[in-house]
Structure 1
């Protein structure tokens, strides 16, 4: 039932490409909220909540967590109370987190490469496999 920018949850799901369960989850996390209830009990969402769902979807697509999205929604809701610098800081913080993960993954990759290069990879028994020996030792990779 869509009347004058009023949507049931299933309609929001179709419009955004999200699942009904995801939308319920976002509602449970207070990222969106129903504006009304029909006598049948269906929650009704307005166009503003649809816009917020699109915002959430785009923010998730670039890697923001739900807490970060909540913060961004607050900044979006009250833009006159916040500076562009505050918004930019959220992205700077996220980029720093991602760089930490990249550095950690590069370190893991390097360690795995060391293990991989140490092994002959032959058909003989793994009894003397260098990878297993290194992982079994206390040596630092």
Structure 2
């Protein structure tokens, strides 16, 4: 139950970050990070970051010497991606969100994530984060209640 609630909170945080992104109210800190700092902050491997870049989920600016430089903007995007990936959203769903957000600020985030395109793989149909987590929390509560009832019945005071 604790794990489900933590995942639910991370999902809500990701939605809040996307809403800030869509509204143009992203934080504008001058803080920059190296790849190793980012991987430590977000508890990700460098390979995961490279994978996100290769798949178009993330574009990272580079210094003249070719090194990547991460700002709060990229950090927030990575938090969104990490949370959505942890919640089993497909790369297609996340890319759809990013591409849609670049062109339109009017649509519902949940609708964008949960509505696969006409030619997307069937796997993306299962992209339903909030609904799935709420359903899992309800089921976990039912199990806890059943266990408590069983304990009360088997071991009366």
Q: Is the 8 A contact 1:75 1:87 kept in 2?
A: no
- CA apart distance, 1:66: 0.7
Identify the match of residue 11 of structure 1 among 34, 37, 41.
37
Aligned in 2, Cα 1:24/1:98: closer, same or farther, shift over 3 Å? closer
* Unaligned stretches of 5+ residues in structure 1: 100-141
1:66 aligns with 2:91: yes
Aligned residue pair count: 94
Inter-CA distance 21–92: structure 2 relative to 1 (3 Å threshold)? same
The superposition leaves residues 114-135 of structure 1 with CA deviations (integer Å, 9 ceiling, x where unpaired) of xxxxxxxxxxxxxxxxxxxxxx
Report whether the alignment pairs 1:88 with 2:114: no
Q: Structure 1 pair 4/29, CA: closer, same or farther in 2 (3 Å)? A: same
Work out which of the residue numbers 66, 73, 76 in structure 2 matches 1:48: 73
User: What residue is the counterpart of 1:31 in the other structure?
Assistant: 57
TM-score of the superposition, structure 2-length normalised? Answer: 0.50
Gaps (5+ residues) in structure 2? Answer: 1-28, 117-122, 129-157
RMSD of aligned residue pairs (Cα, Å): 2.9
Misfit runs of 4+, over 6 Å: none
Q: Which residue of 2 aligns with 1:21?
A: 47
Q: Structure 1 pair 95/30, CA: closer, same or farther in 2 (3 Å)?
A: closer
Residue 47 of structure 1 and its aligned partner are, at CA, apart by 1.3
Specify which structure has the bigger relative contact order, considering alpha-carbon pairs within 8 angstroms and separated by 6 or more residues. Answer: 2
For residues 99 and 124 of structure 2, the distance between their equivalents in structure 1, rounded to whole angstroms, comes to: 20
